[in-house]
Amino acid sequence: MHRRRIVVGNWKMNGRLTSGLTLAQDLVKKAELNRPEGYDLVICPPFTLSWPVSEVVVGTPVHLGAQDCHVDTHGAFTGDVSAAMLVDVGCRYVILGHSERRRDHGETDALVQKKIQAAHQAGLTAVVCVGESRQVRDAGDAASFVSAQVKSIMSARFTPENLVIAYEPIWAIGTGVTPSPDEITDIHETIRGLFGQAGAQVRIVYGGSVTPQSAEGIIRLDEVDGFLVGAASLNSDGFWHIAQFCHGRW
Ligand code: 13P
């Protein structure tokens, strides 16, 4: 089963107007010279840059995403942004349930599920993050923990187009440590198995300390359909290098 690969850059709370625009412009230049084949290339700047970056990337091979959305379409929710608003400014993707949002904003699986529904209703593809802590892994519970997270979002209406699962073990985020190939394959297979027949079509990407150095070995794993990249997505050369591992087919 051929699954289209996807590489998503999560800028997190990084990027001022000038640096963000430069990063987006550099990436567009690269992508127009060597158009992505067989994979989708997505950048997710902070909300303040959604519109200016949109003006740079819309109509190019670089797609726009955001890092969160609210469950409702509009209303008295100070500081929040709805999925429809993201669509208005050209977003096609939204990262949901990132471990930093679960940690810092108390997001639960139930809330993440509602956000996925809101994203789908607005026509966005949800890039949904799951992953265990070091403690859970050391206790031997990684597979069951991640399974529970994925099961809790399964009732959301999904298609292979509007859902991407990102396996991001918390202990691998920003640490320079990545799981072994067997550990990644094991969790990706577990996640895929939960989707039954549809599993063959669901895209499951890996995230956590992905760099130009670590990406090559990881993308060779059959179960890995791309990457969710944090720090390394803030450098256009590095991010482009990572994306090249998804270009064409191995
Ligand atoms: P790093 O690539 O910086 O480890 O971050 C991963 C991540 O959280 C992407 O969403």
| pLDDT tens sequence across 210-249 | 999 999 999 999 999 999 999 999 999 999 999 999 998 5
The predicted pLDDT at position 248 comes to 87
Domain CATH number, residue 202: 3.20.20.70
In a domain, 122, yes or no: yes
Ligand 1 pocket, 242 CB below 6 A?
Answer: no
70 as an active site residue: the answer is: no
Question: For the chain, how many structural domains are there in total?
Answer: 1
Our mutation pick for probing the ligand 1 site, out of 68, 164, 210, 213, counting the most ligand atoms within 8 A of Cβ, is 210
The one catalytic residue in 98, 107, 120, 188 is 98
* Residue 249, domain member (yes or no): no
Q: Which residues contact 190 (CB under 8 A, 6 or more apart)?
A: 143, 146, 147
209 lines ligand 1 (CB under 6 A): yes
User: Mean pLDDT across the chain, nearest whole number?
Assistant: 96
- Residue 236 is predicted with a pLDDT of 98
Supply the range of the domain harboring residue 148.
5-244
pLDDT at 250 over 50: no
Q: Is residue 250 part of a domain?
A: no
Tell whether 203 is covered by a domain.
Answer: yes
Q: What is the pLDDT of residue 157?
A: 73
Write phi, then psi, for 142 (nearest 5 degrees): -60, -50
Q: Is residue 52 part of a domain?
A: yes
| Contact 210 CB / ligand 1 (< 6 Å) | yes
Q: Is 188 a catalytic residue?
A: no
Q: What percent of the chain has pLDDT over 70?
A: 98
Question: How many other C-beta atoms can be found within 10 angstroms of the C-beta atom of residue 61?
Answer: 17
Domain annotation covers residue 177: yes
pLDDT tens for 26-84 read 999 999 999 999 999 999 999 999 999 999 999 999 999 999 999 999 999 999 999 99
Residue 136 identity: V
pLDDT tens-digit profile of 95-149?
Answer: 999 999 999 999 999 999 999 999 999 999 999 999 999 999 999 999 999 999 9
Phi, psi dihedral angles at 244 (to 5 degrees): -60, -25
CA of 85 to the centre of ligand 1 (A): 25
Say if pTM beats, i.e. exceeds, 0.75. yes
Does residue 120 form part of some domain?
yes
Whether residue 229 lies inside any domain: the answer is yes
